[in-house]
Structure 1
Amino acid sequence: MTITESSAVPAGTSAATLLRFATAGSVDDGKSTLVGRLLHDSKSVLTDQLEAVEHASRNRGQGTPDLALLTDGLRAEREQGITIDVAYRYFATARRRFILADTPGHVQYTRNMVTGASTAELAVILVDARNGVVEQTRRHAAIAALLRVPHVVLAVNKMDLVDYAEPVFAAIATEFTAYATRLRVPEVTAIPISALAGDNVVEPSAHMDWYGGPTVLEHLETVPVDQDPAGHPARFPVQYVIRPQSAEHPDYRGYAGQIASGALHVGDPVTVLPGGRQTRIAAIDRLGEPIQTANSPESVTLLLEDDQDVSRGDLVVPSDEAPAVTRVVTATVCHVADQSLAVGQRVLLKHTTRTVKAVVKDIPSRLTLDDLSDHPDPGALAANDIGRVVLRTAEPLPLDPYAVSRRTGSFLLIDPADGTTLTAGMADDA
C-alpha cells in the first residue's frame, strides 16, 4: 500500500478525463459542508442555487450560507441536518470533469454508501478531528476496499476546532492508514482540512504551514484515473434484441447494449455465453451508423455472422478471453436490507442484464470491523454486515472475478417476493 501526501501525475494526464468520486464518513463529520465548499470555492455553483441556499440559511437563523444545503436537498435532510439519500453533483474545472456522490454517514444508510462508491475511482472518507477514527469510519474504509476503489482520501475535518494541531492530524492519519493497510487499500492520501472555513479544500490553509501536501481539489484534479485499461477483456451484456421487420432490412437482427469493458471490432471471433456458441462480429452500429470499432462504455448494436439464439442477459466476449461459466458463486457481500440473509434462503441474482434464481447454500464467515477477524458460520447476515456467501444458481452464469472487472464481477441479490435489493456481491477469484 502507498501512503502519500501528494500525487505526481505527468503534465496533461488529467486534461480530458472524468473522475467519479464519493464522499463518506460518520454523521456530522461535515461531508455535505465539504462538498458545498468544494462546489462554491471552485466556482461550480449557479447564482440561483447560491441564492436559494442563502435564503434557506436565513430562514434557519444562520448568518452565513450553510453550504451543506447545496447537496442536502431533501426536506427531511434539511429538517434533520443529516444526509439521507445519495446526492450526485456534476462539475468541472479547467483540468478535469467530476461526478460526485455525496453519501450518507448514518449507519442506517450504509447501503447508500455502497451505491455511491460502487462506480467510484476515489473515495473521500471524512473524520472529525475531535473524534478520530470511529466504527463508521472503519466500515466505510472496509466497503471502499471491498469495492476495489483504487484511491482513498482521508480528510481530517474540523481542524479549526483542535487549533490546527499537527499531532492530532498525524495520530489520526497513522491509525487510519494502518487499518487501511490491513484492508489492502492500494493508496491513502491524508489531508487536514476545515470544510467550514475552507482550509485546504480548494485553497491552501494559512493556519497549517506544517502541511506541505495538496488541497482536496488539487488531489482530485491530479490523481491518475484508469477507467478502462487496454488490458481489460471486452464484455458486452446483451440488453435488447432488435428486429425492425422493415422491407429495407427484412433479415436484420441486432443485439443492443453497453460495452462493459474493452473494445470490439468487426471481424472479431466471439463467444456468446452462457451457451458457449462461437461466431464473429459481422457489423457494429452506433446511432444507426456502421462503425469498425467500439469501446467501453459506448452503447452499440452488434450484428453476428451466424443466426444465433441470443437473448437479453447473454454475454458476448472474445473467444480467447472468455470468463468462467458456473452455477456455484462464492463472493464477498455487503448486506444492505433490513431483513437478514440466511442460509437456505431463495433469492434472485442480477448480474449485468441477466437475472437468475439462486439459493444461499452457505455463509462461511462475517467480518468483524474492529479487528478485521472473520466470525465463522454466522448462519445469517444482518443489515450492514459484510461477509462471504456461497450461492447455487438455477442457470449458469458467466462471471469474472471482481478483482478483474468491477462491472462483470459484481451482482445484486434481490428478494423474489417484492423486488427489494438485499445484498451487493463481489465475486471471488475462481
Structure 2
Amino acid sequence: MANILDLPDEVLDIIFEYLVSAELAYNLTASLNERRRCARSTTINLRLVCRKWADWFYIHHLYDALLFPAKNAYRKSTLIQNLTERSPSLAWPKCRVLSVFHMRPPAKFYRLRTRTTKDKKEQRPKNAWDILESLVELFAHSLNELDMIFLDFVSLPLGTIEAIGRIRNLRVLRLGIHWAIGTMFTRVAVKCGPAETRPDSPCLRSLIIAAQNLKRLDLEHLHPVVLSSTIGSDLANYQLPAITQLDLGVDWECSLDGFVSLAAALKPTLKVLTLHGNSRDYGRKVKPIFEILRETLEGISVYSEQVLTQVLDFEFPKLRVFATQFWMGCICELLTQKMFSYAPIEIIALDEGAAEYRMKRSLPFDPFANKPKLRRLILSDSSDYDYHEPPPKPIRSACKAHGIEIIKLARNRGISEMMAL
C-alpha cells in the first residue's frame, strides 16, 4: 500500500515549498535571507522522518543556499573535505545560492590578487578566497546565484574569477561593498584613491566577461564612486553575456557616471532596470540612464517618486511592467503621464500603503480607459494584518470593468517575479 514515503520527487518539492510558505505566511516583511533560513530549518526537520527523506533533502535542499561571512569561511573546510571525499557513485548535493560577506581586499589594493598558496600541513584552503573558489568548483553544476559583499574593494584572485566563469548556469551576480557607518567617503573616496586607480572596475569587467550565461547583474549595494566612468567602453571589445536585468542603488551623493557607462554597454540586451533608494538630487543624475535605455526597457522598478518625476515625460515603447513604492498621487494622474501613453503596459505595481489614501476617494475618471493591454494591478504591502483586506471599492470597480486582476504581494517581491506572472 502506497504511503507518504512513496511520493514522487515533484510532489515532495511542492509540499516543501508549501511548508516554507506557510511558515512565513504572516511575515510579509521577511527578507530573502530569512526565507532561506526558514527553508534550511524545514529541511533539517524533514530529514528526520526517514532515511529516504534524509538522503533526498540532503541532495536537493540542505545546501540550497550557503551564506557566511568571510571571517568564518574556514568553517566550510569540513564541508569541502566531506564533499571531496564523497563517493562518485553517490548523487551530488545541490547549491543554488552562494553568498559570502565582508570579504577583505588583497594586500595590494589596486591589483587583482593571484592565486594563494595552500596550507601545506593540512592541504586545505586557508582563506576566504580559496574557500569561495573551492565551493564554486564543487557546486559549479548547480549554482544559479552568487552574492559577494566586500570590505572597501571589489577584488578577487584571478583563479577565483576563472572558477566563477566555469559555473554553467550562473544567472544572478550580486556585488556590493560594506563599510562602517560614518566612514563611507573617508575610506572609499579619499584614502582608497580615485576609481581609475582602484581594482573594482577591472574586477567587475573580468567577472562580467567570465560569466557568459549571466542574466541579472545586481549592484544595489555597490557605491558608484568606485566604478570608473570608462567601464562601459572598457567592455566594448569583449563578448558580453546577454544580461537582461540591472539593479542599481541611487541613494548616493556622488557622480553616477560609472553606472551610466555600464548601462550603455549592456543596452543591447538589457530589458529590466531596478533603481533602489531615494535619489538625493531629485533624480537628475539618474535621468541619463533612462535616456540611454528607454527604447529597450520592458520593466522598470523605482523606489523613489523623485526619480520617477524625472522620466514621466519619456516615451517607453516596450514598457510592459512598472513598479514603484512611493507614488502619493492618484492612479489616474499616474496613468495619464506620457511614459504610459505609448507603452504596451500589462502590469502596474503600487505600494498599497502609499496609494490607499487616494484610492479610497472616488476616481475622477476611468484610469484604465486607454490601457487595453493592462491585465494586472499589483498592490504591494508590508502589513501582516491588512494583507487579506480587499482594496478600496473605487479601484475594485474600475478593475472589474476592464477585467483587470488585482493581486496583493509582499513588498519584498521583485520585479522579476512580477514579470513572470
TM-score normalised by length of structure 1: 0.24
Q: Which has the higher helix share?
A: 2
Q: Which has the higher strand share?
A: 1
